[in-house]
Structure formats: structure tokens, C-alpha cells
Copies of this chain bind each other. A is one copy, B any other.
Amino acid sequence: MSRNSDTRSTNITWHAGHVTREDRERILGQRGVTLWLTGLSGSGKSTIAVGVERELVQRGRVAYVLDGDNIRHGLNKNLGFSPEDRTENIRRIGEVAKLFTDAGVVVLTSFISPYRADRDAVRALLAPGDFVEVWVAASVEACESRDVKGLYAKARAGKIPEFTGISAPYEEPVSPELVLDTERQTQAESIAQVVAYLEAKGYLAARAGKLAGG
């Protein structure tokens, strides 16, 4: 990637005229938010993300999941698994989540995102209240005992280098907004916990305030 500071970000001006986020949220009857699910492989992130999406969409809400399926094969297909590429992977996902949030969508991201610094960088991108860190908590032992995709077995056999929880670290969230204890509750309970949080915090209702002009 070229990083010529003399040509970078020139020719750019800010302009007014966009629909304001408040107008958009008032009309949609919901607030945009990024629900950032983090946890080990096999902890249940994707199932929970898709379950929350389904529940919200069935209620007529606008919700969308970003996960390996639609990101790694698309936007981030030119990234590998080196440390800098992992960081860039999470950064781009964070920027896309920010766009969806600005559009008034409840966006759920489902990525292991093992590094605290990467998650905190995404948190810093977003306004307070727009980023909800959801720790999908399960021990390595629990995830390995399920091993739905057989990845832990491959990792133990040395066939997958730098596998989170086995040969690479998972840095647990320090102050996540939500902790889903997927060892002790069902997936349906975890899905309900997330939806209840959104309701309690007012994300499924429009913000107070009047429509701005025009």
C-alpha cells in the first residue's frame, strides 16, 4: 500500500446535506449500534449473532451480521493472518461496523478478535454507546470438548499455527458491556440476553428529540 503523505487525503472537503443520524433513527425507530462479539473459536459467537439478527429482523428491525463468511471472502480477502494483517482485518471490520451503525443498523460482528488493543481501537472509532463489547465466554476446555469444526484437533496436531487458545493468546475483555456465559446457559438464553440488553438500553426505540430541518 502506498502511503505518500503528500498525496494522501487531499482533495477532500466535508459537506453538509446528509440525512442526520437522528432523523434516520427516528424514522427507523431504532438506534444504530455495533455489538462486537468476541470469544474463542467454538464459543458460540456466530450462532448467537445470527440468532439475534433473526430475532430482530422478525420484529421488523434492521440488523446485520458481519462475520468471516462475508468479510474474509470479500473486503478482507487480500489479508492473511500475520500480526499486521490481523490488526488491519479488525480495523476494517470496525470501520464497516461504524458505517452500518451510522446508517442506523444494529450490526453484529462475529470474530474471535483475541487482542484487547484491536478491540479497544474499534471502541475508540465509535461514539460512546455505539460500541457494545459482548464477551462470548467459554473456556478453552469447553470449546475444545465441543470442537464442532474439528479445528482444535487440528491445532493440537500442529496443523493450524497460532490457533487462539492453543498456540496463540486470547486476551479476555476487561470491561465488556455484556458477558454471555455459554458454558452455563443455552444459545437461546444467550440470544435472549442480548435482545433484553438492547431493549433495556433503548436501542430498539428511536432517540428522543425532534426531526432536524428539511
Question: Which A residues fall within an 8 A CB radius of B?
Answer: 1-4, 7-15, 17-19, 23-24, 27-28, 41, 46-47, 50-51, 53-54, 57-58, 60, 62-66, 68-70, 72-75, 77-82, 84-85, 88, 92, 95-96, 98-100, 102-105, 125, 149, 151, 160-161, 163, 214
What is the CA–CA distance of A149 and B58 in the complex, to the nearest angstrom? 45
**Residues of chain B within 8 A of A96, CB atoms compared:** 75, 96, 99
Known: A7-B80, A13-B149, A75-B99. 8 other contacts (CB 8 A): A2-B85, A3-B78, A7-B161, A17-B46, A18-B53, A62-B62, A62-B103, A62-B105
**Residues of chain B within 8 A of A46, CB atoms compared:** 15, 17
Q: List 28 A-B contacts (CB under 8 A).
A: A1-B1, A1-B78, A1-B88, A2-B80, A3-B80, A7-B80, A7-B81, A7-B82, A8-B79, A10-B81, A11-B151, A11-B160, A11-B163, A12-B69, A13-B149, A14-B69, A15-B46, A19-B53, A19-B54, A23-B57, A62-B62, A62-B104, A64-B102, A64-B103, A66-B99, A75-B92, A75-B95, A75-B96
Closest 7 CB pairs between A and B? Answer: A75-B95, A2-B82, A64-B103, A2-B80, A7-B81, A8-B80, A74-B95
Which of A19, A125, A151 neighbours the largest number of chain B CB atoms within 10 Å of its CB? A19
